[in-house]
Structure 1
Amino acid sequence: MTTLHDVLAAHVRPGGPPGAVALVARGGAVEVAAVGRTEAGGPVPMARDTLFRVASLTKPVMAAAVMVLVEDGALALDAPVAEWLPELAAPRVVRTPSSPVTDTVPAARPVTVADLLTSRAGYGFPADFSLPALAPLFAELKQGPPQPQAVAAPDAWTARLGRVPMLHQPGEAWLYNTCSDIQGVLAARASGRPLPELLAGRLFGPLGMADTGFAVPPAELGRFTGYYRSGPSGGLDLVDAPDGQWSSPPAFPSGAGGLVSTVDDLHAFARMLLAGGEAADGRRLLSAESVRQMSTDHLTAAQREAGSLFLEGQGWGFGGSVDVAALDPWNVPGRYGWVGGTGTALHVTPATGAVSVLLTQLELAGPTPPAVMRDFWRYAAAA
């Protein structure tokens, strides 16, 4: 009988991820496996408490924090964000997606909090990365693979954003990534607290997510992985060492991809979503309605199709994808979660009460999930 350890071990080999840690849970049954090493060729074995850069698994966490503030009354879904982000009070939009950045028109309506949560504010990545309006996102805002020490502090970053034209009118199209970073600035300003402090106080502390944050403390670097990319000759190239970019707090805590975490911390977050916003100790962090909104597809069929490079036919809730059809053996309508470009994945399936978490340290080669992820999902769906 195949075990979770077997699934991971089949992919931890030369040219693949140096190691992996995964968790599959349904009800009270939890299976965890750790395979390989924290660094390529290194001596430290993977363990249940190994720390990983979780990249875009930050997005659903960020969305949950925004919904906490909505429930507090500090934000409202239909409110224009200009109240908190005056830099976006009068945004410009390129006349067509392929227009030069100097050929713009005014936004037809204000950007709202809901636009940011559904990634339909007009900023972000489409399928065509060659469009002129994307150049400032890479060059000025450092969008793309996470590089925490290279990004400007929130106020400076948002000032730059205000000078970048949007690719689409607000509400018109689903675009990837940038809206989650804007959510981080929005949440910090609306709460009056730095984003790391807000997340620690309202989510991580109550959920017992003691190992989750935007940097790894010096005393815990021995539990941290290296971060790799596939090299041109089939080997691995080191992108970031344990004492690298995540070893000190960043100027810009990225709501799109800046967190480090463990399988158990992510499981705690996922359990809260499955419990309709309630922590394991009974504390309510979100209402069931907020969790429902997070995990409901908000896109039109045309928006899903235009975003198919990233979504592969899925919809989008707040901060994560939502399966809208059984397209593959692991797709169950209503499954909510996302993947991270550093080789990570987190999903909850309300219909079955299942949670699946996969953490590796090998960067994805593109938006298409790698074989280890697909095999893991297949195993989790059958568990």
Structure 2
Amino acid sequence: MTVTESVPINRNFNFLALWLSQVFSQIADKIYLVLVISIISQKLFSPEVEISPFVTGLMVAFTVPAILFGSVAGVFVDRWSKKVVLMASNLLRGGLVLVIPLTIGALGTGKYSYEALLIITFLVSTLTQFFTPAEQSAITLVVEREQLLTANSVYATTVMGALILGFAVGKPALQFADVCLGQWGQEILVGGCYAIAGLILGTLATGEKISEQQESHIWQDLQEGIEYVKTQPIVQGALVQLVTTYSVMAALTVLAVQIAEIMPQLQTDEFGYLLSVSSVGIALAAGILGKFGKLLPYQRSILVGTIGMTTALAGLILTTKELIPALLTVGAIGIGAGLCVIPMQTIIQEKTPEQMRGKVFGLQNNIVNVALSLPLALAGFAESYWGLPIVLVGLGGFALLGGVLSFYLICRPPQVS
């Protein structure tokens, strides 16, 4: 049940509050890793120390909570107020970032401060696992069902905008904060963004009714979420498509480095330009769906997006040494990905009962995080072993297979329990 009358998205105060908080939260998310890597390289260790092992440890600390707590967090989100979870996760993340300079000041540079930074990063990532399913559930509480596709399109555009911002101006923004706000201005910038996001959510009215406290059966609730997904082929299809698309985009993140390395017009460390263009493509798809999504059935959106991604991945083989064609091709991959991801997220929101949303979104968060992590680990190895063209063909085949399977599942009727 939503608390919002049927009004346009741009006049829905609760959605605008949720969206504006997301803007600040996403900016903080995208700049956080840039911040902590900068702290490791510039403040914790001397220049002659090789920081790669320390950065690897940091990435592990950031990734592990997504695998450990993604599904479990969704169970608790179903039991708690979504507004409280959203506010608390943002404010606590902001507080943790602001603790970083105090920790380094107390422990000094070196090993102990690095270990403290790992713990802080682990906690920030753990709080994010609660934030994500709560946010997806909250959208359905403040937006009418017929406006969910538009709302998800706006959200996707914001996420991609934050991603572009992270690649393009993350480091300059931290340098600017350092100059304007003093020695620990970078932490104030990131922690402040989280805090502002939390405070904005204080104005949010979800209208949700919190049931009386029940005895917790976490594993039983997890099983309920899994069993629900088993009986809903349309939700299974949406999850398959999300996993497929996120896997392709994660692999592209690694392969972009290789493409930049062999492209005469780019330096290797300028691979972010390619990723930014893919983000622009997803944002364009979000705009198309926001404007014309009601005229494009979900099944057709999958087919168009899958064909677009598959064709563009194959075309990328022919454009890796020419900048403009490569940028256009990567942008087309982004458009195809957006046409797949945004409607699938909307399907999950529409088809999942309110009391099950936290469980299902937590399960989705867990699956997607694995889908993002494995290609990051395997794509570089595959490229060095088989070569870039074969890997791109393989990715195209994987995208096609995932799209076909998703289309098949979405067209199946739900099982009667």
Higher strand share: 1
User: TM over 0.5: same fold?
Assistant: no
Give TM-score, length-normalised by structure 1: 0.28
Higher helix share: 2
Give TM-score, length-normalised by structure 2: 0.26
